[in-house]
Structure 1
C-alpha cells in the first residue's frame, strides 16, 4: 500500500502546541505511548481480500515508523487484533472476549448509546509502551460506504501511537486527494509518527515538554 508522497514543501510542520494537543486527553493529561515490541496482527470477520488490505496498511505504517513486525508475540501470540462486526451486540456473544475487555457489557452499552462505529483498546508494558491493541469496527451504513483501504489506513494510523481521545474528533489523520478514491495519510501526521519512533525518544511520556522534543525532529520546509 502506498501511503502518500510523505513530504510536501507547501505544508508547515505542526507546532509544539499542535503536537501537544494530539496527545493531551480530554481530562487534560498528556499521555504518549508507542509500540514497545514488534507488531503481530490478526484480523477477524472479513474475507481474505480485506485481510490483505489491512495487513498491507499495517506493513506500510510500520515501515513509515521504522518499527518492526513479527510472526508471533512470545507473550500474546498476536498483539494487534482487529475485529469487523455488524452490530455491537456481537461482542457480548463472542467467547472469551471478556478476557480482553473487562466490563465488556458496559463497553458495549456505551458504544451503542454513542452510536459509535469504532473502538480501540490498548494494553501497556512495564515501561508504558504499547504491548497490545484491540480494534473493533462496526460496519454500519456510514462505515460500509467507506473504501476498505481508507478504513484500514485510518485504523492503523490511530493504533500506531496512543493518540489523545480527542486528537481526531474535529479532523482526520487522512486526506482525500482524488474524488471517490481511498484516502491517504496527511504528511504532517506521518512526520509526527516518524519522530515518535526516533530511537532516542522514549516509548512513553506523560510530560508536555515531550511534544517539544517531537517538534524538534520534524522536517522543515526547504
Structure 2
C-alpha cells in the first residue's frame, strides 16, 4: 500500500511534499455563467464534505481563498484587477503557460505551519477543455485543489472515472482524501514516513 500512497505526494524532483487545508475553504469562480458556477460550488462542497473539512462564507485574510479563473487566452490574466497582487510573478507565469501551451495551472499558498491557506486555479478554455462536461471539470478541479498532490500524481491515471456516463471520484482517491484529513494526521509533511502513516489510515478506512 505504501507504494500506492507515496507517489501521490512525491514530486518529479524526488521531494515528498504533503499539505492539506488548514482553514475553511471559501471558493469563488470567475468567468463562468450562473449555471456553471452552481456546478463548481456543488463539486467543491462535495469534496470538502468527503474530506470532513469545512467551508465558510468568507476568509478573514483574503475574503475568498480558493479562486478559480476561466479565460479564453492566457493574456487575459494580467488584465484581471489586483490579480498581480495575489500572484506577484504573473507576467512571467503567463509567458510560461503560453510557451507550454498549457490549459490549466494551480498555485498554492501556505501558512506558517505549512498547511494550505489559498489556492489559485487558472483554466484556459481551449478545445480540449471545452470538450469536458462542466460537472466533470468541476469535480476534477475540486479534488486537485483539496490536497497538495504531486505534480505527477495523476499522470498515469486521472482522479476521476466514468460510471454509466457520469464522472465520479475514483474510490482509491476518495479514500486518500478522507485519510489525509483524519484529525490525527498532520496538516503538512515533508518526510516520506508520512506516507506510512497515511497508508495505515487508509487501511483503517477500507477495513473499518
Q: TM-score, normalised by structure 1?
A: 0.90
Aligned counterpart, 1:4 = none
Match of 2:125 among 133, 139, 142: 139
User: How far apart, CA to CA, are the structure 2 residues paired with 1:148 and 1:163?
Assistant: 22
Tell me by how many angstroms 1:221 deviates: 5.6
Tell me by how many angstroms 1:182 deviates: 3.6
Aligned counterpart, 2:39 = 53
Tell me by how many angstroms 1:93 deviates: 1.9
Alignment of 1:156-171 (within 5 A): 156-171=142-157
Aligned counterpart, 1:127 = 113
Aligned counterpart, 1:190 = 174
Aligned counterpart, 2:198 = 214
1:131-184 deviation line (CA, Å, top 9, x unaligned):
000011111101101000000000010000000011112220001112xx3411
How many residue pairs get aligned? The number is 206
Structure 2 gaps, min length 5 = none
User: How far apart, CA to CA, are the structure 1 residues paired with 2:117 and 2:207?
Assistant: 35
1:45-74 deviation line (CA, Å, top 9, x unaligned):
000100000000011000000000001111
User: How far apart, CA to CA, are the structure 2 residues paired with 1:139 and 1:89?
Assistant: 13
User: How far apart, CA to CA, are the structure 2 residues paired with 1:16 and 1:172?
Assistant: 19
Match of 2:104 among 103, 118, 128: 118
Aligned counterpart, 2:74 = 88
Q: TM-score, normalised by structure 2?
A: 0.96
Tell me by how many angstroms 1:220 deviates: 3.4
Aligned counterpart, 1:9 = none
Match of 2:56 among 60, 70, 83: 70
User: How far apart, CA to CA, are the structure 1 residues paired with 2:6 and 2:85?
Assistant: 33
Aligned counterpart, 1:5 = none
User: How far apart, CA to CA, are the structure 1 residues paired with 2:185 and 2:136?
Assistant: 29
